[in-house]
């Protein structure tokens, strides 16, 4: 393809994307295709002759778009948001256009230096402790990883290597193998599945502790588990705390966890995949408490700060721990600038060697919105979740199950879990809005997360009306079928209320 054709193709693709995003509310949020739909329609072999870009773009519309779940639809309320904004899309285009690698300074100086700049911008925007900034000139700093899962895995592996070295120095009679076999980590049952996975991959079993009635993990719980494990000969190595759990967005008690970790020479990592963004707001200043005792922290910039997938910020109090753990040198990676400046060689801070120029989309987007625009975006998510919560509270059939946090509201139908499960099933089958369930303390509930590009009040109202309609239908049908016996008349009463 020559540059002229690329210009035409690229402009048509930009128009296509803008049309897609501007009309996204016209589509059901969930697709209406069955497994294998695409496999049946596409050729089994790579085309022998090249095709025209217009035909390819048409087929994106014809075959690909129908198979999309529309994550950028404001009717998407499942999981947590994945960010998207026009400036970030352009930032992605530019970075793809340059197609450079940034594994060390020389491989593309702008790549490393811009990452240092935006990671410090973000650390200051969140008012993180000074030692997380590159500009502090200490051993700390931030890096962009692909995902929270990678960040947690890196923390687990770094904690493992630090623990092995420390224990070997303290007890030289132990073999390295013995030490490794005794390492153990901790997290709560409200933590994301990536934590257990990081333990599996990083060969440290993670003991999953039950969260307390507020869905959080506290120092007292951790201390009790550590005491028990020390008595059994284990070596407590890392605690992975959560700021903004996937289920209810609860925040573990960092201050007391930090205290236990310090006393036991354990690494403290915080998974703030979603909630981290809200550190920027004074309304959530309390989240910053305890961050000074944290060794590492991850936040998915691609969740709620208008940056497209993928882009995860990870900060380290002492990046040397990671560099020491991962450092592998090869002659072709050596260059005359290595070790000559304060600038990091980010290849030592991550799992792969190659790295994308992710900082570019962050820089482009943050400049276009400014700190004020980013804060307004977060405040909008809070405002919309508050509006949704008000609608839930005003409905006698529904109840809130956890404190509203940021852009997340957790609610359920009063009574037996089956009602909530059936309601969600109906809503999902109708495809107008998309939400996912969770459970805590034996109660099934539905998570309503403010997501999508440019969500508005009308979208919250649309979602609530859909819930209202489906719930009213469900209750009328149950009452008509006389199925109210299993819930001891509750359904009938609720249906009567619904009719009123």
From 147-155, 349-357, 426-434, 492-500, give the range in contact with ligand PLP by CB under 6 A.
147-155
Instruction: Name the catalytic one among 192, 298, 300, 308.
Output: 192
Q: Which residues contact 234 (CB under 8 A, 6 or more apart)?
A: 182, 183, 184
Query: 147 vs 350, which CB is nearer to ligand PLP?
Result: 147
CA 204 and chain centroid, separation = 23
> Does position 82 bind ligand PLP by CB under 6 A?
no
Nearest residue to 64 (alpha-carbon basis) of 11, 13, 6, 1: 13
Cα separation, 159 vs 239, in Å, equals 10
Provide the minimum distance between the beta carbon of 179 and ligand PLP in the complex, in angstroms, as a whole number: 29
**Candidate residues 105, 132, 186, 274; the one interacting with ligand PLP per rule CB under 6 A:** 274
Interface with ligand PLP, residue 296, by CB under 6 A: no
Contact 297, 291 (CB under 8 A): yes
Q: Which stretch binds ligand PLP (CB under 6 A): 145-153, 154-162, 360-368, 419-427?
A: 145-153
| CA neighbours closer than 13 Å in the CB half-sphere of residue 95 | 26
Q: What is the DSSP string of 137-148?
A: -SS-EEEEES-H
**Residue among 92, 196, 271, 422 that touches ligand PLP (CB under 6 A):** 271
Torsion sign (Cα): 480, 482, 483, 487: positive
Q: What are phi and psi of 450, to 5 degrees?
A: -75, 120
Q: Is the CB of 71 or the CB of 80 nearer to ligand PLP?
A: 80
Among 222, 257, 273, 291, binds ligand PLP (CB under 6 A): 273
Among 9, 20, 53, 79, binds ligand PLP (CB under 6 A): 79
The distance of closest approach from Cβ of residue 27 to ligand PLP in the complex, given in angstroms and rounded to an integer, is: 23
Quick one: which segment of 143-151, 338-346, 352-360, 491-499 binds ligand PLP (CB under 6 A)?
Answer: 143-151
Is 149 a binder of ligand PLP (CB under 6 A)?
yes
Given a contact cutoff of 8 angstroms between Cβ atoms, the answer to whether 356 and 95 are in contact is yes
118: region left, alpha or beta (phi > 0 left; psi from -120 to 50 alpha): alpha
Task: Verify binding: residue 71, ligand PLP, rule CB under 6 A.
Answer: no
Nearer to ligand PLP (CB atom), residue 143 or residue 413: 143
Residue from the set 85, 147, 221, 365 that interacts with ligand PLP by CB under 6 A:
147
Contacts of 82 (CB under 8 A, 6+ apart): 71, 72, 302, 303, 308, 309, 451
Which CB sits closer to ligand PLP, 105 or 434? 434
DSSP secondary structure string for all residues of 464-488: HHHHHHHHHHHHHHHHHTTGGGGGT
Pick between residue 83 and residue 236 the one whose CB is nearest to ligand PLP. 83
CB of 336 to ligand PLP, least distance (A): 36
Choice from 71, 76, 80, 126 touching ligand PLP (CB under 6 A): 80
159's tokens: 């904690």
Tell which one of 112, 237, 308, 312 touches ligand PLP (CB under 6 A). Answer: 312
| Kind and range of the H or E run holding 447 | strand 443-449
The CA distances from residue 100 to 133, 229, 308, in Å, are: 25, 47, 19
Other beta carbons within 10 Å of 330? 7
* Residue that is written with structure tokens 């139908």 in the block: 413
Contacts of 130 (CB under 8 A, 6+ apart): 136
Segment contacting ligand PLP (CB under 6 A): 146-154, 169-177, 223-231, 454-462?
146-154
Of 88, 107, 148, 188, the residue at the interface with ligand PLP (CB under 6 A) is: 148
Residues 185-244 that bind ligand PLP (CB under 6 A): 192, 194, 242, 244
Q: How far is the CB of 291 from ligand PLP (least distance, A)?
A: 16
Strands of 408-413's sheet, edge to edge?
398-400, 408-413, 443-449, 436-440
Q: How far is the CB of 252 from ligand PLP (least distance, A)?
A: 11
Cβ distance to ligand PLP smaller for residue 70 or 391: 70
Tell me, yes or no, if 264 is annotated catalytic: no
Would you please indicate which residues are annotated as catalytic (active-site) residues? 192
* Interaction site with ligand PLP (CB under 6 A): 79-80, 147-149, 192, 194, 242, 244-246, 271, 273-274, 300, 312
């Amino acid at each position: 393809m020559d540059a002229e054709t690329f210009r035409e193709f690229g402009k048509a693709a930009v128009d296509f994307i803008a049309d897609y995003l501007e009309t996204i509310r016209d589509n059901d949020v969930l697709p209406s295709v069955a497994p294998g739909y695409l496999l049946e329609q596409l050729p089994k072999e790579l085309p022998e002759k090249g095709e025209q870009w217009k035909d390819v773009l048409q087929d994106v519309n014809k075959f690909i778009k129908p198979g999309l779940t529309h994550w950028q639809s404001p009717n998407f309320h499942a999981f947590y948001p994945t960010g998207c904004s026009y400036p970030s899309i352009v930032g992605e285009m530019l970075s793809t256009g340059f197609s450079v690698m940034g594994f060390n300074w020389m491989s593309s100086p702008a790549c490393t230096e811009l990452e240092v700049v935006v990671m410090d911008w973000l650390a200051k925007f969140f008012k993180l402790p000074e030692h997380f900034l590159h500009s502090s000139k200490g051993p700390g700093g931030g890096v962009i990883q692909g995902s929270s899962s990678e960040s947690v895995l890196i923390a687990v592996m770094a904690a493992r290597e630090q623990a092995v070295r420390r224990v070997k120095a303290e007890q030289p009679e132990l073999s390295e193998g013995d030490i490794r076999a005794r390492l153990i980590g901790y997290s709560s049952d409200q933590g994301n599945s990536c934590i257990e996975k990081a333990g599996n991959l990083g060969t440290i079993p993670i003991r999953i502790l039950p969260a307390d009635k507020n869905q959080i993990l506290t120092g007292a719980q951790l201390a009790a588990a550590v005491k028990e494990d020390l008595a059994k000969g284990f070596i407590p190595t890392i605690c992975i705390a959560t700021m903004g759990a996937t289920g209810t967005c609860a925040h573990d008690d960092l201050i007391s966890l930090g205290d236990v970790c310090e006393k036991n020479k354990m690494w403290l990592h915080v998974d703030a995949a979603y909630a981290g963004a809200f550190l920027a707001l004074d309304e959530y200043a309390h989240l910053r408490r305890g961050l000074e005792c944290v060794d590492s922290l991850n936040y998915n910039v691609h969740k709620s700060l208008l940056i497209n997938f993928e882009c995860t910020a990870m900060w380290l109090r002492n990046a040397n721990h990671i560099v020491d753990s991962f450092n592998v040198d090869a002659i072709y990676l050596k260059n005359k600038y290595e070790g000559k400046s304060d600038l990091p060689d980010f290849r030592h801070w991550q799992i792969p060697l190659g790295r994308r120029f992710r900082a570019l989309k962050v820089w482009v987007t943050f400049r276009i919105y400014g700190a004020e625009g980013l804060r307004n975006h977060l405040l909008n998510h809070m405002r919309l979740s508050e509006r949704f919560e008000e609608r839930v509270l005003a409905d006698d059939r529904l109840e809130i199950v956890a404190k509203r946090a940021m852009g997340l509201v957790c609610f359920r139908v009063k009574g037996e879990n089956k009602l909530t499960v059936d309601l969600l099933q109906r809503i999902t089958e109708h495809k107008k809005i998309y939400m996912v369930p969770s459970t805590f303390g034996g109660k099934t509930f539905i998570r309503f997360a403010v997501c999508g590009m440019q969500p508005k009040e009308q979208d919250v109202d649309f979602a609530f009306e859909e819930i209202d309609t489906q719930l009213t239908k469900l209750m009328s049908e149950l009452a008509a079928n006389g199925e109210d016996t299993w819930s001891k008349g509750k359904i009938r009463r609720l249906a009567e209320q619904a009719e009123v």
